[in-house]
Homo-oligomer: A and B are copies of this chain.
Amino acid sequence: MSGGVTSLLDATAKGVFVIAPTPFREDGRVDDASIDRMTDFYLEAGCDGMTVLGVMGEAPKLDAEESLALVRRIVKRAGRAGIIVGVSAPGFAQMRGLARNSMEAGAAGVMIAPPNTLRTDDQVVTYYRHAAEAIGPDVPFVLQDYPLLFQVVMTPAVIRRIVADNPGCVMLKAEDWPGLEKISALRAAQAVGEMRPISILCGNGGLFLDFELERGADGAMTGYAFPDMLVDLVRLSASGQRDAAQDLFDAHLPLIRYEQQFGAGLAVRKHVLKRRGIIASDAQRRPGSALSAKARAEVEYLLARLGRHDSRARLAAL
C-alpha cells in the first residue's frame, strides 16, 4: 500500500483496494484454491489492499464460520497488504463479533454500510456512533456511502459529523451518484480545517474514476475485473499524465459500463475473472444471477475490442 496500512488502516491509505468476490465451486462450497490464486493475482497486480465480504463478496450468503475462515485465509495469504472486512449486519451484536474476530485474525480495518431504513441526518449519524461503539474504538472503519444501493443519502455535512464523532472513521468509500461534487465539497472542508483528513477511495465500479481522482480521491475501491488497469490509472493520474490516464480509462470504459448492471454486474465480473484464469468458477450462491449466452457473447466482444488497446484483455479463445 502506498503509505497506508502496515498493521492498521489509517487516513493516509491510497491506491487500489480491490473489492474481492468470494469464489465458489460449482457445488456452492467456498473455493479455497481460487481464493489463494485471486489473492496472489491482486497483489501482483499492484493492489494496495483488498476488501472482502462486501456486497460483491456475497457476504450475507456465508455463515459466520465461513466468513471468518475466509478472512483468516486471505489475511494470511496477503501478508503485508491491508485487508478490510465488510461487517455490515442487521444488528450490532453480529457486527461486533465479526469485527473483533477479523481484527484478531489480522485485518487492517472494517467497512460498515448503513441499513436501508435510515432517513434523517440524525439517524445516520447516530447509527455510526452506535456502530463505532459496538466494534470498539481501536478498530478503524470505512464509511460506505452508496445511496443508489442502500437508499440512504448522506450529505457532506453528515459525513463530516460522522468523521468528527468517530476517530475510528479513517476512510470513505465514495459511491454516491453523482459523487464528483461531494468529493470536492469534502476536500474543501478538509482544506479549511472543517474536517480532519480522511482517505477517500471510490467505488461505483470505477465509472467515474477518471474525474474522481482529479477531484481529490486517493484511489479506487472497486471490483472491476481489471484491477491491474485501475492500478495503472491511479498511478498515471497521480503523476499528472492526464491524457494518458484518460486514454487508458476510455479503452476500458465500454466494459466498465457493462459491469454496471445491478444484479448482472457480479456475474460479468466473475465471468471475466474466470476467463482471465484467476478464479475457477463464476458460480454464485443464491440468490444469484447468471449470464445468458447473449451476454457472454457481448462480454467476449468487448474483451476482443479491449484487447486491441490493452494486452491484458487478450484472452485465450473459448
- Chain A residues with a Cβ under 8 A of chain B: 59-64, 66, 89-94, 96-97, 116-117, 119-123, 126-127, 130, 134, 148, 152-155, 157-158, 177-178, 180-181, 184, 207-208, 210-211, 214-215, 246, 249-250, 253-254, 257-258, 260-265, 285-287, 292, 294-295, 298, 301, 305
Which residues of chain B are near A258, meaning CB under 8 Å? 211
With A130-B286, A246-B305, A257-B253 known as contacts, the answer to whether A120 contacts B155 (CB < 8 A) is: yes
What is the minimal beta-carbon distance from A243 to any residue of chain B, in angstroms? 8
Q: A62-B93, A120-B120, A177-B261 are in contact. List 20 more A-B contacts (CB 8 A).
A: A59-B91, A60-B91, A61-B91, A64-B64, A66-B93, A89-B90, A116-B116, A120-B153, A130-B287, A134-B286, A180-B294, A180-B295, A181-B264, A207-B260, A210-B254, A211-B258, A215-B294, A249-B254, A250-B305, A253-B253
Which residues of chain B are near A90, meaning CB under 8 Å? 60, 89-90
Contact between A261 and B178, CB atoms less than 8 A apart: yes
Which residues of chain B are near A184, meaning CB under 8 Å? 292, 294
Which residues of chain B are near A127, meaning CB under 8 Å? 287
Count chain B CB atoms within 10 A of each CB in A63, A117, A148, A265 and give the residue with the most.
A63
28 interchain pairs, CB-CB under 8 A: A59-B91, A60-B89, A60-B90, A60-B91, A62-B91, A63-B93, A63-B94, A64-B94, A93-B285, A116-B117, A119-B152, A120-B155, A120-B158, A122-B155, A123-B153, A127-B287, A148-B148, A177-B261, A177-B262, A178-B263, A180-B294, A181-B292, A207-B260, A208-B257, A211-B258, A215-B294, A249-B254, A253-B257
Which residues of chain B are near A120, meaning CB under 8 Å? 120-121, 153-155, 158
Which residues of chain B are near A246, meaning CB under 8 Å? 254, 301, 305
Count chain B CB atoms within 10 A of each CB in A61, A66, A210, A257 and give the residue with the most.
A257
